[in-house]
Amino acid sequence: MTAAAARGGTDAAAAIDHGRATGRIGPNAIIRLIEALTGIEGAPATGRVFRAAGLSPHLRAAPTGMVAETDVARLHQALRADLGEPRAARVARRAGELTADYLLAHRIPKPAQTVLRCCPAPLASRLLAAAIGKNAWTFAGTGQFSVQHRPSTIFAIADCPLCRKQRALRPLCDFYAGTFERLYKRLVDPRAHVSEIACQAMGAEACRFEIRWNRGRDDECQTSCEEPAGGGRLEP
């Protein structure tokens, strides 16, 4: 390993530690919510929600760096207060889908996407889950992300920043569910479905997302799932 590569690894690790310690997550959590809210409810609703959250400056200039997880949490609270939970859930899930689309277009290398699509679904799921876990600090902030593969695939976020200190009668983390489902539909199985089966806002110890797909695809792949030429890596 070269000195430059070693420094690069050290810098990346420091960035991860800093993000976790300071509670900052990626700007897509705000940028894609602007797009989803405006697209579904219109610009006036977007203005109201962002004013209520104290985040109107983001409407004039979208964030370009990591944002405080507390700002994102406050934005989702304002969204629910303005629209009510059912409509807010639709907007949040759409924002998650748009976030996944951004990752597919700009963050996950195309060779890696090809590899995942040709793999049997259980293997593709494990590879994708590993990549998501590696980059969990970018969306979970100070929350703790974990994965369970049996009997079904479940993602868990303990101390979830989106619903921290909230109380509700239904799960609140539609943004995460939308992101995970879109990624699985595009990279694992087009009939994948993600449901939040437990939420801290309802008293659970962690927010848990169950991922299911069509098991019939598992034997369809005839292509090797070796790492693609050129060293493509799966890093959302």
Is residue 91 one of the residues assigned to a domain? yes
Name residue, tokens 């005839």: 222
Q: How much is the mean pLDDT over the chain? A: 87
| Residue 232 is assigned to a structural domain of this protein | no
Q: Does the residue 224 lie in any domain?
A: no
Q: CA 88, CA 23: separation in Å to the nearest integer?
A: 24
- Let me know if residue 49 belongs to a domain: yes
Domain assignment present for residue 4? The answer is no
Does 16 reside within a domain? no
Domain CATH code at residue 188? 3.90.1520.10
pLDDT per residue as tens digits for the range 131-184: 999 999 999 999 999 999 988 899 999 999 999 999 999 999 999 999 999 999
Structural domain total, the chain: 1
Confidence bin at 3 (pLDDT 50/70/90): very low
Number of neighbouring beta carbons within 10 Å of residue 177: 24
Residue-level pLDDT at 167: 96
**Is 17 a domain residue?**
no
Examine the pLDDT at 236 and tell me if it is beyond 80.
Answer: no
CA distance 87 to 78: 12
Q: In the chain, pLDDT over 90 holds for what percent of residues?
A: 79
On whether residue 227 sits in a domain, the answer given is no
Mean pLDDT of 60-85: 97
Pair 176, 212: CB distance under 8 Å: no
Q: Which domain holds residue 169?
A: 24-219
Q: Using pLDDT thresholds of 50, 70 and 90, give the confidence band for residue 215.
A: low
Task: Quote the pTM value.
Answer: 0.84
